[in-house]
Structure 1
Amino acid sequence: MPSRVWVVRAGSRGEHEQYNIENDRTTIGWAEVGDIGPYRSKDAIQQMLAPLYPGAPDRRLANYASQLWAFRDRIQVGDLVIMPSKDRRGYIWFGRAVGPYTFDASSPEPERRKFIPVDWAKDPMPRSSFGEDLLRSLGAIQTVFAPTRNNAVRRLETIAAGQPDLHTGGGAPKETLSLTAVPTAPAEQDEEVTDPDPVPTLEVIEDRVQAHVMAEFKEHDLTWLVSEILESHEFVCQVSPPGPDGGVDILAGKGPLGMDAPIVVVEVKSEAGPVDVKVVRGLHSARERHNADQALLVAWGGVNKSAKREISTDSKFRVWDGATLMAELFYAYEDLPPETKRRIPLTQAWVLDEDAIS
Structure 2
Amino acid sequence: MTAWMVRAGSAGEREQWALDNGYTGAGYGDVDSLADCVTREDVTRKVSLGIPNSSSGAVKNFAAQLWALKDRMEIGDLVVMPLKRTSEVAIGSIDSEYTYLDDPDPQRRHVRRVTWKVTDLARSRIKQDLLYSLGAFSTVCQIQRNDAEYRLRACISGGADPGARVGSSKPMLVPTPSTPTVRMDDPELVEPPVDVSRYAADSIASRLIEAFSGHKMEGLIADILRSAGYVCTEHGEGTDDGIDIVAGKGILGLEPPRLIVQVKSQASPVDSPTVSQLHGSLAIHGADQGLLVAWGGLTRQARKLLESQRFAIRVWDADEVVAQLQEHYGSLPARVRRELPLKQIWTLADEAG
Change (3 A) 1:195 1:269: farther
Return the offset for 1:333: 0.8
Secondary structure of the residue that 2:5 maps to in structure 1?
A: strand
Residues of 2 paired with 1:110 and 1:256: CA distance? 56
Displacement of 1:9 in angstroms is 0.9
Which of 228, 232, 238 pairs up with 1:237?
A: 232
Which of residues 326, 331, 343 in structure 2 aligns to 1:330? 326
**Range 73-82 or range 144-153, more displaced:** 73-82
- CA offset at residue 59 of structure 1? 4.8
In structure 1, C-alpha distance between the alignment counterparts of 2:97 and 2:341, rounded to whole Å: 48
Match for 1:40: what amino acid?
V
Aligned AA for 1:340? V
Distance 1:28 1:230, change over 3 A: same
Q: 1:66 aligns with which of 64, 67, 72?
A: 64
1:79 CA displacement = 1.7
Identity over aligned pairs, percent = 36
| SS in structure 2 at match of 1:237 | strand
Q: Is residue 214 of structure 1 aligned with residue 209 of structure 2?
A: yes
Number of residue pairs matched by the alignment: 334
Aligned to 1:174: none
User: Secondary structure at the residue paired with 2:97?
Assistant: coil
> Which amino acid letter does the alignment assign opposite residue 22 of structure 1?
D
In the alignment, which of 17, 20, 36 is matched to residue 19 of structure 1?
17
Q: More deviation in 188-197 or 202-211?
A: 188-197
CA distance in 1 between partners of 2:289 and 2:244 (Å): 14
- 2-side partners of 1:215 and 1:167: how far apart? 16
1:147, CA displacement in angstroms? 0.7
Confirm or deny that 1:150 pairs with 2:146.
yes
Matched, 1:305 2:300: yes
Q: Is the 8 A contact 2:270 2:296 kept in 1?
A: yes
- Mapped to 2, the partners of 1:28 and 1:277 lie a distance apart of 35
| Match in the other structure for 2:101 | 104
> Gaps (5+ residues) in structure 1?
169-187
d(CA) in 2 for partners of 1:221, 1:249:
11
2:126 equivalent to 1:130: yes
Change (3 A) 1:195 1:154: farther
Structure 2 match to 1:253: 248
TM superposition shift of 1:41 = 2.0
1:134-283 equivalent positions in 2, closer than 5 A:
134-167=130-163, 190-191=185-186, 196-283=191-278
Give the Cα–Cα distance (whole angstroms) in 2 for the partners of residues 233 and 13 of structure 1. 28
Partners of 1:328 and 1:232 lie apart in 2 by: 10
User: Within 1, Cα distance between the matches of 2:191 and 2:329?
Assistant: 33
**Cα distance in 2, alignment partners of residues 218 and 67 from structure 1:** 40
CA pair 285-50 structure 1, distance change in 2 beyond 3 A: closer
Distance 2:60 2:146 in 1: 26
SS of 1:36's equivalent? coil
- Higher mean Cα deviation, 117-126 or 334-343? 117-126
* Alignment deviations for residues 290-332 of structure 1 (CA, whole Å, 9 cap, x no partner): 2322211001133222112222222221111122212211111
Distance change >3 Å, CA 123–CA 46, structure 1 → 2: closer
What is the distance in 2 between the residues matched to 1:252 and 1:346?
26
Task: Report how far residue 197 of structure 1 moved.
Answer: 4.5
User: Which residue matches 2:335?
Assistant: 339
1:310, 1:339 → 2: CA distance?
Answer: 37
**TM-score calculated relative to the size of structure 2:** 0.86
CA contact (8 A) 1:201 1:352 kept: no
Q: 1:31 aligns with which of 29, 32, 36?
A: 29
SS state of the match for residue 263, structure 1? strand
Distance in 2 (alpha carbons) for counterparts of 1:257 and 1:111:
54
What is the DSSP-based 3-state SS (H/G/I as helix, E as strand, rest coil) of the residue aligned with 2:204? helix
What one-letter code is carried by the residue in structure 1 that aligns with 2:113?
Answer: P
Q: 1:50 deviation in Å?
A: 4.2
Going from structure 1 to structure 2, the CA distance change for 1:219 and 1:50 (only over 3 Å counts) comes to: same
Q: State the Cα deviation string for residues 188-230 of structure 1 (Å, max 9, x = none).
A: 9724699934424322221111111122110111110000011
Alpha-carbon spacing, 1:27–1:208, altered in 2? closer, same or farther (3 Å): same
The code of the aligned residue for 1:103 comes to: Y
State which of 86, 90, 95 in structure 2 corresponds to 1:93. 90
Deviations 1:76-110 (A, max 9, x none): 2222111111222x2122222222211123x1122
Structure 2: gaps of 5 or more residues:
165-182
Question: What TM-score, normalized by structure 1, do the two folds share?
Answer: 0.85
RMSD after superposition: 2.5
Distance 1:122 1:136 in 2: 19
Q: Distance in 2 between matches of 1:42 and 1:104?
A: 20
